[in-house]
Amino acid sequence: MPHPTILNTPDTPHRLSIEQLVQDLQTDPRSGLSADEARRRYEQLGPNALQETRREGWPTILLRQFTGIIVYILAAAAVLSFFLGDTVEGFAIIAVLLINAITGFILEWNASQSMDALRKLDTTPARVLRDGRVREVSSEDITLGDVLVVEAGDVVAADASLFDVNQLEVDESALTGESLPVAKDTQIPPPDAPLGDQLNRLFKGTAVTAGNGRALVTGIGQKTELGKIATMVEEAERSATPLEAKLDALAKVLIWVTVGLAALFLVVGLIRKEEPVQLIETALALSIAAIPEGMSVVATIALAYGMLRLAENKVIVKRLSAVETLGGTNVIFTDKTGTLTQNRIEVDTLQLPGGKVGITVDAPAGKLTLVDGEAGLLESETFDKLVQVGILCNNADYDLADGEAREVGDPVEVSLLKFALGAGRNPEEIIRQFPRRAEKAFSSDTRIMATLHERDGRYLVAVKGAAEEVLDRCTSVDEAERKTYSDISEKMATDGLRTLAFAYREADTRPGDNFADGDLTYLGLIGFLDPPRTEVTPALQSCREAGIKVIMVTGDHPATALTIASKVKLIEPGEEIVLTGKDLKPIDQLSEAERERLRACRVFARVSPAQKLDMIDLYQQNGDIVGMTGDGVNDAPALKKSDIGIAMGLRGTQVAAETADMVLKDDSFASIVVAIAQGRVIFENIRKFVLFLLSCNLSEIFVVTFAGFLNVGNPLLPLQILFINIVTDVFPALALGVGRENRGLMKDPPRDPKTPLLDTRDWRRVVFYALVITAAVLGVYFIGTRRLGLTQDEGNNLTFYALSFAQLLHVFNLYSTQGRPSVRRFFANEITRNRFIWYALLVCVVILVLTYYVPFLRDVLAIRPMTTVELELIALAGLLPVVVVQIVKRLAPGL
């Protein structure tokens, strides 16, 4: 064979004949490549493996914890503290940075790389034709032009075009999302056929479930469909989550506040010709007061606590910020197979000559439940014979020994055995009563399967197959009836059901070799469907009430997708619109009218992985927060591209699980609704503790600034401010962050993703709360220094404890007002019911007591002994802001 100079992967191999491929790939389908030629091509084209990407090592993850605007400001404050000789203050700031970094590092360390999982699909052995003989080689050694030999049980090692098929069926669900195994043939499909309709092709990573075949390898490694998906996974960008973006935006606001106040304070001080070192120390105090040091720590712990609660509900969160992101999700793209459905084939509809019956099957319980139709049909002789034929014309096995179901064989044939058990029949007993004497296997030519059985000297022929083929062999059916039954079969297929027709014949003498070719009695049709999950419908209703739009995006057949969407009530009557991959243009080519048409559609079928990315991008460009569920290899790029990727843990591929942000251990869509509710709780908690921290920190700024402008001294030392920020602020904020209150959150529409973490009304509250606390604290400071004659150090002492106590009690102002506030609401709300609030207050009070009695803490914070009058002033400063805020809330409920 001549040595090929250049070999390229065909762009559209499904459109090329085998003769053309043989010529292009310079190979021989009868003998395959020679060993020498295969080695040369291996050297030229490389191994049949996915490209390796670098793992994100622990140093990278650790360094990422030290990035962010707040981190940079705190680091600068620590450096300045050391420069000014305040080493205790510098070390305290560093401790805050380390606590946050260690917490974030531990929680992110177990994040996995999707490319590793893709590579694990790459290590199976394969059989190829080399030098005219079938040889087993490593999948990496397969090259273009090899003749791939496959049979039931094999995992396809490369993309290939079939030229020899013998009852070959392949499970492509991981790649296309289609539930049923696909029957392969050698016919060239239409040029624009999607992957699911390219029946003449084999794809890397799919599984052969029946039959055998041979195919020419047309794509290896990164050039396979699996490789293309791997490339998309690698290249898909994951932008910052909404929470990360909102916290960054808030940090930028705080930077400008800090810089502005510090600069103003310095300018005023220099004009007054004050001591520069003292001015710098006060400016540093302002900087420390402006930045809520505990915000990132509390946010991290609040999200981590949410992760633990979700784990209790079988939701594993791999990416910390994904907890909050899911709470803001307003669009969910969901796969069909395994997410909305049970990913198994069941008998759904019976079309007997006497009428139609809809049923559900419970094989373990031996029960059939009538969904619609006449119950009498299930007691007819025709029904009994249909069950019997379904058992006998069958090569599958289904065993319920020890309560564990064991399924072997074609999923449709397994479902027939389960159907028989549900009808109260014992398949094993019937098979013993009617021993098999002959079989006509299903083929693409006859499109039927037939078996011959004997009992007590009489013979029974059992037949199943395509409706038109079975009807042609039924002599008792006239032309009009044949047309009617054919139309019914087509209608069932249009409704998304896979249909099989059944017939039989009884004879006193053994029929000849062509025992299935005629004189059959027609029994009816059975429609098979991957049944919906029972919990999906109420979960979708919850999404609808919460203002969340759910869209099905699947690689399955359009009719099947529409049927499932209707059954689970994803769409309402009148919304029966389904768009396929053929209807989708690249996103940059869409007009505004076409974009609106896409956004109006709720069901998309025969969609490729690249088109899923485009659909997600379309909604993200519109400002939506997009969640994506999936379980197959084909879903991996979209899972990564979406704001929140949700993988199925039971039936999902490892690729999908490792690419996603969260994994559902029970594969239940209902668990997504639980996670969304938890995400909304987390966001509300974060908003509350940010309100708390900012109002407390702003009160510190006001205390220092107003005192400086009034030239009455510095009522707070920088280290006292830092202590308040990392102790008496953080513990109540943390308690707010782990609250469980979620009443009514799933009845409201999702928040606008474009709105900031705090809106205008929230900022008004922050300023109002801070002014009230400031007024109370400076009030007692003035009383202490001007009326009681306290020294500057004693005034610092009074202000420190007064501000600490006022901020601790301020937590009771943060309850949600449902309707007009009332006295009863103040004493019974999510704050007072949160046991962590009480724990936090107790801890903080103990710490404050320790600062007074422990010599080391007393010296570091410059604490002086206090009189009873000072303690009374501290209590007044703590209680007064709460009273004032509650009065104003009743007078102005909108505040």
Identify residue 58 by its one-letter amino acid code.
W
Q: Which residues of 404-417 are buried (b: 16+ CB within 10 A; e: fewer)?
A: eeebebbbbbbbbb
Of 698, 685, 680, nearest in space to 816 by CA? 685
Phi, psi of 724 (to 5 degrees): -60, -40
Identify residue 230 by its one-letter amino acid code.
A
Q: How far, in Å, are 185, 560, 701 from residue 144 at the CA level? A: 21, 36, 71
Question: Contact 809/699 with Cβ under 8 angstroms?
Answer: no
Task: Work out whether the CA dihedral 34, 37, 43, 48 comes out positive or negative.
Answer: negative
| Residue the block writes with tokens 């009326």 | 787
Q: How far, in Å, are 282, 708, 714, 778, 874 from residue 790 at the CA level? A: 21, 18, 14, 14, 14
* Cα(149)–Cα(131) distance, integer angstroms: 14
Q: Give the pair of three-digit tokens for residue 348.
A: 């759904």
- Return the H-helix or E-strand segment holding 171: strand 159-171
- Report CA 342 to chain centroid distance, whole Å: 18
Is residue 881 helix, strand or coil?
Answer: helix
Of 628, 616, 633, nearest in space to 339 by CA? 628
Extended beta strands in 521-602, E state: 521-529, 549-553, 578-580
Q: Give the pair of three-digit tokens for residue 373.
A: 């139709």
Please give the positions annotated as active site: 335
| Residue the block writes with tokens 């004997």 | 454
Is residue 160 helix, strand or coil?
Answer: strand
Order of strands across the sheet that contains 626-630 = 315-317, 662-664, 644-648, 626-630, 331-334, 549-553, 603-605, 578-580
* Cα(665)–Cα(316) distance, integer angstroms: 7
Question: Contact 778/715 with Cβ under 8 angstroms?
Answer: yes
Strand partners, 170: 182, 208
Strand partners, 438: 452
User: CB under 8 Å to 835, separation ≥6 — which residues?
Assistant: none
* Cα(708)–Cα(262) distance, integer angstroms: 11
Q: What DSSP state is assigned to residue 154? A: P
Burial of 42 (0-12, 13-18, 19+ CB in 10 A): middle
* Cα(805)–Cα(777) distance, integer angstroms: 10
